[in-house]
């Protein structure tokens, strides 16, 4: 069997063992070479990618190789270097600027459409939480007004990428059709322009400005609530554009059925096409977002810090990226290296005490395993040697102290043990900490490693 065939078999084995999104994020596109008989070389796009595969999937990769080849091979990694710039993933190389219909874009801004050409599909990280929204957006950008997705309405809570997708649709169409007439604006801007046109007796000009377009991209339509005259104007604009087959894409912070103060006929128009939502991204998608942001900003940040930030900020992509920039600013202003302690300070500044609620049992297991030199498998297994029991009790204690998990869930995580076992472990550690200063220092060190509050 050639090495290429072996690795393809391994990929099929791995794909059957992990979620599809995890496979697409970390294994899709990974190739292999075999410079020596007893080893396999996996080519990865960057250092972060290697560290993630090595820390999270090394056992699975070894199992796949053994299953597909019948022999154990040493696994090495090679970071692919781009021809254009060292250590840059090919799809992160800056894209060509959109054609701007005779108007030179300054600082990424396209004046006629009001689009920022930094918002493109290539730098929008896709995950399970936004897969449908991105697919629908790509569809309408390729065939505006020609799909059943007209109007397309994207809704989510703030900071999850609605505006990015909205503008990416427009920028994609500009690349395909430089002469397309596209307008992007917020619903507030629409209302202010409407009021101004009434005051200046320019209602006809206002109508022509927004009706003479090929695509209308309007952000935050929830702002139309209780604005009756603005709603009336937008209703007629919507009907005119839709009748002429022009694409309309909107965003809002909730499902149209939950909007109050909107006329029923307008809500009916919103629901006549496709409505898609964006949910908060899972951990692996958040890590991928930070990796891409770090690469695009030429930041060299240790992987464990990337993972920590992604684990701490779970609900808002904008806050996630902001934390990375804030970390860089802290390091620059204080003239310090980017360290875990500095990252914890940034997270604490952003989230306050709530940051500690995002510590998970998996983080506890990993940290205790490293400190006490007992494997995670041993801690959740049936072993009862003194060292294993101490590490298990310590991990249970910290899980109760630092996570929001119930005693039942903690017990289930530790080999399906009963909640009474967790209570016993916590009481044991409490008693030993009173008598053993060394254990006390170890517990506080582990709390500090995990980012929890220090009590001594």
Q: What is the mean pLDDT of residues 148-166?
A: 91
User: Residue 387: inside a domain, yes or no?
Assistant: yes
Q: Is residue 456 part of a domain?
A: no
pLDDT exceeds cutoff 60 at 104? no
Beta bridge partners of 43: 31, 78
Specify the CATH number for the domain of residue 243.
3.40.50.300
Is 0.75 topped by the overall pTM? no
- 81 closest CA partner among 73, 67, 92: 92
Q: Looking at the structure, do residues 376 and 303 belong to the same domain, yes or no?
A: no
- pLDDT tens for 252-271 read 998 988 888 888 999 999 99
Please report, for the domain that includes residue 317, its CATH number: 1.10.8.60
Name the average pLDDT for the chain. Answer: 82
Range of the domain at 390: 359-450
Q: Do both 386 and 446 map to the same domain? A: yes
H or E segment and range at residue 340 = helix 340-351
Looking at the structure, tell me whether residues 295 and 267 fall in a common domain.
no
* CATH number, domain containing residue 371: 1.10.1750.10
Q: Token pair of 217, please?
A: 């991209």
DSSP codes of every residue in 346-365: HHHHHHGGGGGGG--HHHHH
- Of 277, 305, 327, the residue that ends a domain is 277
Collapsing DSSP to helix, strand or coil, 275 comes out as strand
Residue ranges in 130-161 assigned as alpha helix (H): 131-142
In a domain, residue 144? The reply is: yes
The CA-CA-CA angle for residues 412, 413, 417, to 5°, reads: 40
Cα–Cα distance measured from residue 139 to residue 428, given in angstroms and rounded to the nearest whole number: 59
- Asked if residue 224 and residue 237 are part of one domain, the reply reads yes
**Residue 101 within a domain:** no
For residue 103, the SS3 value is coil
Domain count along the chain: 4
Report yes or no on 333 lying in a domain: yes
**DSSP state, residue 185:** E
Q: For the stretch 241-255, what's the b/e string if a residue is b when 16 or more beta carbons lie within 10 angstroms of its beta carbon? A: bbeeebbbbbbbbee
Least confident of 29-38, 231-240, 376-385: 29-38
Contact 324/301 with Cβ under 8 angstroms? yes
Share of the chain above pLDDT 90, in %: 25
Q: Is residue 95 part of a domain?
A: no
Same domain, 257 and 192: yes
Q: Which of 229, 249, 277 delimits the end of a domain?
A: 277
- Asked if residues 163 and 251 have their Cβ atoms less than 8 Å apart, the reply is yes
Residues 365 and 228 placed together within one structural domain of the fold: no
**Domain harbouring 49, CATH code:** 3.30.300.180
Asked whether residue 399 falls in the same domain as residue 268, the answer is no
Q: CA angle at residue 169 from 145 to 202, to 5 degrees? A: 70
Q: Which token pair is 130?
A: 């936004």
Of 333, 357, 381, which one is at a domain's C-terminal end?
357
Is 343 within the bounds of a domain?
yes
Q: CB neighbours of 99 closer than 8 A, spacing ≥ 6?
A: 174, 175, 178
Identify whether residues 373 and 434 lie together within a single domain: yes
- Give the model confidence (pLDDT) of 329-342 as tens digits: 777 667 777 888 88
DSSP letter, residue 96: P
198 is a domain residue: yes
Is residue 209 located within the same domain as residue 143?
A: yes
In this structure, the answer to whether residues 141 and 181 fall within a common structural domain is yes
Structure token digits, residue 455:
């009590």
Is 157's pLDDT higher than 80?
yes
d(CA 381, CA 413): 10
Task: Please tell me whether residues 302 and 264 are part of one structural domain.
Answer: no
């Amino acid at each position: 069997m050639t090495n290429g065939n072996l690795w393809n078999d391994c990929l099929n084995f791995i794909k059957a063992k992990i979620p599809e999104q995890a496979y697409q994020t970390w294994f899709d596109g990974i190739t292999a070479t075999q410079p020596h008989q007893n080893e396999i070389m996996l080519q990865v796009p960057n250092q972060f990618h290697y560290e993630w595969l090595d820390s999270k999937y090394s056992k699975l990769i070894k199992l796949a190789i053994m299953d597909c080849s019948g022999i154990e091979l040493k696994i090495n990694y090679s970071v692919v270097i781009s021809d254009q710039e060292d250590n840059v993933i090919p799809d992160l190389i800056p894209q060509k600027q959109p054609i701007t219909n005779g108007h030179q874009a300054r600082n990424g801004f396209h004046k006629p459409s009001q689009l920022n050409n930094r918002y493109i599909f290539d730098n929008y990280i896709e995950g399970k939480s936004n897969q449908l929204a991105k697919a629908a957006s790509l569809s309408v950008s390729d065939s505006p007004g020609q799909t059943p997705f007209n109007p397309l309405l994207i809704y989510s809570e703030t900071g999850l990428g609605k505006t990015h997708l909205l503008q990416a649709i427009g920028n994609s169409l500009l690349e395909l059709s430089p002469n397309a007439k596209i307008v992007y604006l917020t619903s507030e801007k629409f209302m202010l322009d409407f009021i101004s046109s009434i005051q200046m007796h320019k209602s006809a000009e206002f109508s022509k400005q927004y009706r003479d377009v090929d695509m209308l991209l309007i952000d935050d339509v929830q702002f139309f609530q209780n604005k009756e005259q603005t709603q009336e104007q937008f209703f007629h604009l919507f009907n005119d554009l839709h009748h002429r087959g022009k694409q309309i894409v909107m965003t809002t912070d909730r499902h149209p059925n939950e909007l109050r103060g909107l006329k029923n006929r307008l809500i009916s128009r919103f629901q006549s096409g496709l409505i898609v939502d964006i949910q908060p991204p899972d951990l692996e998608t958040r890590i991928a977002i930070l990796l891409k942001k770090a690469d695009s900003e030429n930041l060299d940040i240790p992987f464990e810090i990337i993972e920590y930030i992604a684990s701490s900020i779970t609900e808002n992509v904008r806050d996630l990226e902001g934390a990375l920039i804030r970390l860089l600013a802290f390091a620059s202003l204080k003239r310090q290296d980017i360290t875990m302690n500095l990252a914890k300070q940034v997270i604490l500044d952003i989230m306050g005490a709530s940051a500690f609620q995002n510590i998970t049992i998996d983080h506890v297991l990993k940290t205790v395993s490293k400190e006490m030199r007992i494997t995670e498998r041993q801690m959740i297994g049936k072993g009862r040697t003194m060292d294993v029991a101490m590490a298990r009790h310590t991990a249970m204690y910290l899980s109760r102290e630092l996570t929001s998990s119930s005693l039942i869930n903690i017990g289930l995580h530790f080999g399906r043990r009963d909640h009474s076992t967790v209570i016993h472990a916590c009481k044991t550690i409490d008693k030993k900490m009173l008598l053993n200063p060394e254990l006390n220092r170890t517990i506080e060190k582990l709390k500090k490693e995990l980012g929890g509050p220090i009590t001594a």
